[in-house]
Amino acid sequence: MVSEPNGPRPTLEAVAALAGVSRATVSRVVNGGAGVRAAVQERVRQAVTELGYVPNSAARSLVTRRTGAVAVVIAEPETRVFSDPFFGRQLRGISRELAAADTQLLLMFVEHRDDYDRIGRYLSAGHVDGALMFSLHRDDPLPAMAERAGLPTVYGGRPGWAGADRVPRPLYVDTDNRGGARQAVRHLLGRGRRRIAVITGPLDQTSAVDRLDGYREALGTAEPDPRLIADGGFTAHGGERAMAELLDAAPDLDAVFICSDLMASGALRTLRARGRRVPEEVAVVGYDDLEPAAWADPPLTTVRQDVEEMGRLMARLLLRLLDPRKTEGSDAVELAPVITEARLVVRESG
């Protein structure tokens, strides 16, 4: 008795009649409620399958007080997100984990300052059950908005926004940025390099700060030569520009640690344009180990972080926060911050 493609939509009453139970019992089974015997649940599910019944999402929300949707908020312009493979990889991990939990993903960007009000209104209006936020900056108002709305939230990256110290135990997923940077610089020192420059990301983001700190620690100095430090803004164009600045300020540099592979791609263009051979004259180490690293010319020595796994863990933490039953079993995660491993991958560039 499967419904016709263009016929009337199967109703809750039709499912109840076929299963031989009340409408209320069907509603409890469909909406995941307790108190229904296993045999009755099975009869209802068979009737749902046979009729092709699809629950009305609005009605279901009234019963469960859940929307079945999660907001993924990236505090960057759309053009930045779609030009950087880091974000695509992280979104893949998030999307796959949410899909497996039958949860919808709503993607939001911060294109202009005015967008904060729009996003804040949306998050506080009950349209989503929780939020995943990443690429946050020091002055970002998004965490405070989520806190005021009482919205369960998991962050990508170590908290560093204004007021983060007042939030009791925020949940976040990050990589060992400082340790990864130390590995990169120690590797260059081990190859006999002595004038090692660094191209950082924006220093209002904790990942960039931590990688710069790891660079300093590996060099063994709190105040390295300022001529060897440039900000590339985590973009390819920024890496190209920062590399030119470094070569102008310190033409005797013999290595550069670049805090993202995307910036490294731009830096390699500048080195080629300036006639500097890699790695013979200037050794290069990046950070991320996304697909373009292996395609670079020469292939890029880089620090690997599992970006897709980080996205998956963010989603899993939020799902557990929303409903512990959804992540029970061997893959369950503890409700605590997660720091993933960073590991150097050696190729021809450094």
Complete DSSP assignment for 182-235: HHHHHHHHHTT--SEEEEE--TTSHHHHHHHHHHHHHHT-SS--GGGEEE-TTS
Give the span between the Cα atoms of 231 and 203, in whole angstroms: 8
- The CATH 1.10.260.40 domain(s) of the chain lie at 12-64
Other CB atoms within 10 Å distance of the CB of residue 95 = 17
Other CB atoms within 10 Å distance of the CB of residue 20 = 11
Q: Give the CA distances from residue 88 to residues 236, 294, 300, 304, in Å, rounded to whole numbers and listed in that order.
A: 16, 17, 20, 16
* CATH class given for the domain over 69-174+309-339: alpha beta
Q: Are 247 and 238 in contact (CB under 8 A)?
A: no
pLDDT in tens, the chain (350 residues): 444 554 567 777 777 787 787 777 877 777 666 677 878 778 878 877 877 766 655 444 444 456 789 999 999 999 999 999 999 999 999 999 999 998 999 999 999 888 999 999 999 888 999 999 999 999 999 999 898 888 999 999 999 887 777 767 789 999 999 999 999 999 999 999 999 999 999 999 999 999 999 999 999 988 899 999 999 999 999 999 999 999 999 999 999 999 999 999 999 999 999 999 999 999 999 999 998 898 899 999 999 999 999 999 999 999 999 987 655 554 567 889 999 999 999 999 99
Give the span between the Cα atoms of 336 and 318, in whole angstroms: 11
Other CB atoms within 10 Å distance of the CB of residue 14 = 17
Q: Are 105 and 94 in contact (CB under 8 A)?
A: yes
Dihedral angle sign, alpha carbons of residues 316, 320, 324, 329: positive
Q: Are 60 and 27 in contact (CB under 8 A)?
A: no
**What kind of architecture, by CATH, is found in domain 12-64?**
Orthogonal Bundle (1.10)
Pick the CATH number of 177-305 from 3.40.50.720, 2.70.70.10, 3.40.50.2300, 3.40.50.970: 3.40.50.2300
- The CATH 3.40.50.2300 domain(s) of the chain lie at 69-174+309-339, 177-305
Q: Is 113 helix (H, G, I), strand (E, B) or coil?
A: coil
